Amino acid sequence: MNTTPARMAFIMLLTSIVVFFTPVSAEERSVINTELSKPAVRGGIVFKNYCKLCHGEKADGMARAAKLYGVKNLTIGPAKSDYYFKIIRGGGPVVGKSEFMPPWQHELSEEQINDVVAYLQIVTSGAKRGEVVFKTNCILCHGIKADGKGRAAKLYDPPPANLTKSDKNDDYKTMIITYGGQTMGRSQIMPPWGDQLSAQEITDVVAYLRTVLDNK
Ligand code: HEC
Ligand code: HEC
């Protein structure tokens, strides 16, 4: 049988119904609470309010205002936190960059600056962005630790793969994530994500999966 969109929708619906009726354990609740109280999450909100206009939602420079400034590239690259603190507190000129990058030390609290730096360290790292993609889309089946023990795992035979023990290479993972299990001669329960995730998000989640391997 083909993995039609309707079939995929059905699988995901079934998955969410089961998950809805399975009580959340105290342990899971504390994982969720810790995730939400992380500085990076609060920093994402600061970023949205104060930085997105110029730097784009994902700090990739794809913002409408970008064209207004004579700066070609508003992408924020990976860097040491010291550098981020310096330019964010003091503005572009203190590190020899454009004056259109304003100083924020009088507008944001120290805590907000700490938080936004934590956020930047995530969005500028492929593996860390991939962790967010994974935790948003894959844990119901593959589990928060990627060990195949998600809350819906017991529904399926074969069960969702234990990704900490995967012997597959990055190319294979990219294929199965993009096209789904069935196309690869595996279970159709592993959905195709090519329509829902961008190529960048798939590259990122594959980078994250490298970091969860037991024998990395
Ligand atoms: C008015 C537009 C504008 C706003 C708002 C803005 N920036 Fe910038 N930002 C810039 C410009 C312009 C540059 C410098 C680009 C260059 O000279 O290469 C820059 C550069 C940076 C850099 C250095 C990037 C690199 O890779 O070297 C960081 C980090 C940064 N901004 C963080 C932030 C943060 C965090 C906020 C929100 C608190 C923010 N910016 C808000 C315009 C802006
Ligand atoms: C509805 C449940 C479900 C969801 C959601 C799901 N998977 Fe899967 N996944 C599976 C199942 C079941 C298998 C095992 C297929 C088999 O063994 O035939 C699998 C297999 C895989 C494999 C192959 C691993 C190996 O070593 O062979 C990868 C990689 C993978 N999934 C990644 C992901 C990623 C990344 C996401 C989120 C974007 C995701 N999966 C979401 C059910 C799911």
pLDDT digits (tens, 9 = 90+) for 108-132: 999 999 999 999 988 888 898 899 8
- 4 has pLDDT over 90: no
Residues 104 and 142 in one domain: no
Same domain flag for 198 and 209: yes
Q: Do 159 and 207 fall into the same domain?
A: yes
Q: Residue 209: CA atoms inside 13 Å, Cβ hemisphere, count?
A: 29
Among the candidates 109, 124, 139, a domain finishes at 124
The pLDDT > 70 percentage for the chain reads 85
pLDDT score recorded for residue 72? 62
Domain assignment present for 5:
no
- Same-domain check for residues 92 and 173: no
Q: How far is the CA of 5 from the centre of ligand 1 (A)?
A: 41
pLDDT tens per residue across span 26-74: 766 676 667 667 888 899 999 999 999 899 887 877 776 666 766 667 8
Q: 199: CA distance to ligand 1 center in Å?
A: 26
Tell me the DSSP string of the chain.
Answer: ----HHHHHHHHHHHHHHHHHSPPPHHHHHHHHHHHTSHHHHHHHHHHHHTHHHH-TTSBS--GGGGGSS-S--BPPP--HHHHHHHHHH-GGGGT--TTS---TTTS-HHHHHHHHHHHHHHT-HHHHHHHHHHHHTHHHH-TTSSS--TTGGG-SSPPP-TTS----HHHHHHHHHH-TGGGTS-TTS---TTTS-HHHHHHHHHHHHHH-TT-
* 162 shares its domain with 115: no
Residues 6+ apart with CB under 8 A from 23: none
Verify whether ligand 1 is closer than 6 Å to residue 98 (CB atom).
yes
pLDDT at 194 over 90: yes
pLDDT class of 21 with cuts at 50, 70, 90? low
Number of domains the chain is built from: 2
Residues 119 and 135 in one domain: no
Q: Which of 124, 159, 177 is the last residue of a domain?
A: 124
CA of 205 to the centre of ligand 1 (A): 26
Q: Does the pLDDT value for residue 168 go beyond 70?
A: yes
Same domain, 135 and 97: no
**pLDDT (average), residues 90-96:** 96
Averaged confidence pLDDT in the chain: 88
Smallest CA separation from ligand 1 atom 23, residue? 76
Is 161 a pocket residue for ligand 2 (Cβ < 6 Å)? yes
Q: Does residue 170 form part of some domain? A: yes
In a domain, 27, yes or no: no
Domain boundary among 106, 124, 142: 124
Domain that includes residue 94, residue range: 39-124
133 lines ligand 1 (CB under 6 A): no
Query: Which ligand 1 atom is the nearest neighbour of the CA of 65?
Result: 2
Cα gap 139→109, rounded to integer Å: 34
Kindly tell me if the per-residue pLDDT of 202 is higher than 70: yes
15 and 141 in contact (C-beta within 8 Å)?
Answer: yes
Residue 77 falls within a domain, yes or no? yes
CATH of the domain at 115: 1.10.760.10
Residue 13 falls inside a structural domain: no
149 and 93 in a common domain: no
Q: What does the pLDDT look like over 119-165, one tens digit per residue?
A: 998 888 889 889 989 998 999 999 999 999 999 999 999 999 999 99
Residues 80 and 45 in one domain: yes
Question: Within a domain: residue 26?
Answer: no
Considering the domain architecture, whether residues 115 and 196 belong to the same structural domain is answered as: no
> Within this chain, do residues 112 and 151 fall inside the same structural domain, yes or no?
no
Judge if 141 and 207 occupy the same domain. Answer: yes
Atom 31 of ligand 1, nearest CA residue: 101
What backbone torsions phi and psi does residue 75 show, to the nearest 5 degrees? -65, 140
